[in-house]
């Protein structure tokens, strides 16, 4: 089984409406204008889409931050890049990142929710999460941990009731490997230094990963690709930013050997 995992394209743009100058979006717009747009190259996302069209996979996983400030115009722009994948019929699993849930403005929340339903071709909606879905030989647990936060923070939170559900799903007999799909890494190497950027409420999920109840955690948020995998390919894999670093992950699962493999794909055009 083949899984294409990518993350953090961070489509950006200007303020979509005048209210953006009076909420957190102004920080994101400023950040994009003066910093991010020089690093992010959407041609790399286009190259990845072309690759997947030529080399089909069983499922595409996107772990969020499609946008920079979660505005409708940014979702509309990234949609055009992803349309060929979405229309190909390949299952597409997307969880939003903190930048996709940037502010509480109803038009922005609506655009994010519409994106979830559009990419999944209506097979799940935002409010269905957390949810468990079997695709091919694996069970995928889709978890949202992104919520609007204050001006200075890009942290995430796993809600208690979501932890309970995931624990329940992981307590039964394991029929297939379980892959957790979330935006934030469960493991944080510098929890104090990165207190404004890390995930909270995830301790029990990390225990499930360490005990093997969860086989693989696929995530983004951190833009440099990073893996903490054991000899059987179990652990956590951060895809890195497709547009900043031109990387995505091709994950294979060999059911006979019960082993995951990971190959980094590079899209540098």
Measured CA distances, 58 to 136, 137, 207 (Å): 7, 10, 28
Cβ of residue 225: shortest distance to Fe ion, in angstroms? 13
**Binding string, 55-94, against Fe ion, x = CB under 5 A?**
----------x-----------------------------
**98 contributes a contact to Fe ion by CB under 5 A:** yes
Closest CA to 201 of 141, 150, 156: 156
* List 5, 105, 178, 221, residue binding Fe ion (CB under 5 A): 221
Cβ of residue 221: shortest distance to Fe ion, in angstroms? 4
- Cβ-based nearer residue to Fe ion, 8 or 236: 8
Report how far residue 20's alpha carbon sits from residue 157's, in angstroms, rounded to the nearest whole number: 24
Provide the β-strand partners of residue 238.
Answer: 219, 226
DSSP-derived secondary structure letter, 244 = H
- Cβ-based nearer residue to Fe ion, 67 or 120: 67
Report how far residue 217's alpha carbon sits from residue 73's, in angstroms, rounded to the nearest whole number: 30
- Cβ-based nearer residue to Fe ion, 8 or 215: 8
Cβ of residue 223: shortest distance to Fe ion, in angstroms? 6
- Cβ-based nearer residue to Fe ion, 96 or 177: 96
Closest CA to 267 of 83, 61, 106, 42: 42
DSSP-derived secondary structure letter, 233 = S
Instruction: Count the helices and strands in the chain (H runs, E runs).
Output: 7, 13
Report how far residue 96's alpha carbon sits from residue 66's, in angstroms, rounded to the nearest whole number: 8
* List 5, 8, 105, 209, residue binding Fe ion (CB under 5 A): 8
Stretch that binds Fe ion, among 4-12, 125-133, 169-177, 187-195 (CB under 5 A): 4-12
Cβ of residue 97: shortest distance to Fe ion, in angstroms? 4
Stretch that binds Fe ion, among 6-14, 34-42, 48-56, 256-264 (CB under 5 A): 6-14
Report how far residue 91's alpha carbon sits from residue 59's, in angstroms, rounded to the nearest whole number: 5
Cβ of residue 43: shortest distance to Fe ion, in angstroms? 18
Cβ of residue 257: shortest distance to Fe ion, in angstroms? 34
Report how far residue 91's alpha carbon sits from residue 260's, in angstroms, rounded to the nearest whole number: 19
Residues forming contacts to Fe ion in the complex (CB under 5 A) are 8, 65, 97-98, 221
């Amino acid at each position: 089984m083949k899984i294409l995992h990518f993350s953090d394209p961070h489509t950006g743009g200007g303020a979509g409406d005048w209210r953006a100058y009076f909420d957190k979006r102004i920080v994101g717009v400023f950040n994009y204008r003066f910093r991010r747009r020089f690093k992010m190259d959407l041609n790399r996302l286009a190259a990845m889409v072309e690759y997947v069209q030529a080399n089909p996979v069983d499922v595409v996983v996107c772990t969020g931050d499609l946008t920079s400030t979660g505005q409708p115009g940014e979702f509309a722009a990234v949609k055009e890049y992803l349309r060929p994948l979405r229309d190909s019929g390949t299952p597409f699993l997307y969880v939003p990142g903190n930048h996709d849930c940037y502010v509480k403005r109803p038009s922005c929340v609506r655009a994010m929710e519409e994106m979830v339903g559009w990419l999944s071709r209506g097979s799940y909606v935002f409010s269905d999460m957390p949810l468990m879905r079997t695709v091919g030989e694996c069970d995928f647990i889709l978890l949202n941990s992104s919520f609007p936060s204050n001006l200075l923070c890009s942290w995430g939170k796993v809600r208690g009731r979501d932890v309970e559900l995931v624990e329940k799903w992981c307590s039964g007999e394991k029929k297939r490997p379980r892959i957790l799909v979330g935006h934030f890494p469960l493991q944080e190497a510098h929890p104090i230094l990165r207190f404004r950027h890390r995930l909270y409420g995830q301790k029990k999920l990390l225990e499930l990963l360490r005990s093997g109840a969860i086989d693989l955690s696929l995530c983004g948020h951190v833009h440099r690709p990073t893996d903490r995998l054991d000899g059987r390919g179990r652990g956590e894999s951060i895809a890195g930013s497709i547009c900043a670093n031109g990387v995505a992950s091709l994950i294979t699962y060999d059911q006979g050997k019960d082993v995951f493999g990971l190959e980094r794909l590079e899209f540098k055009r």
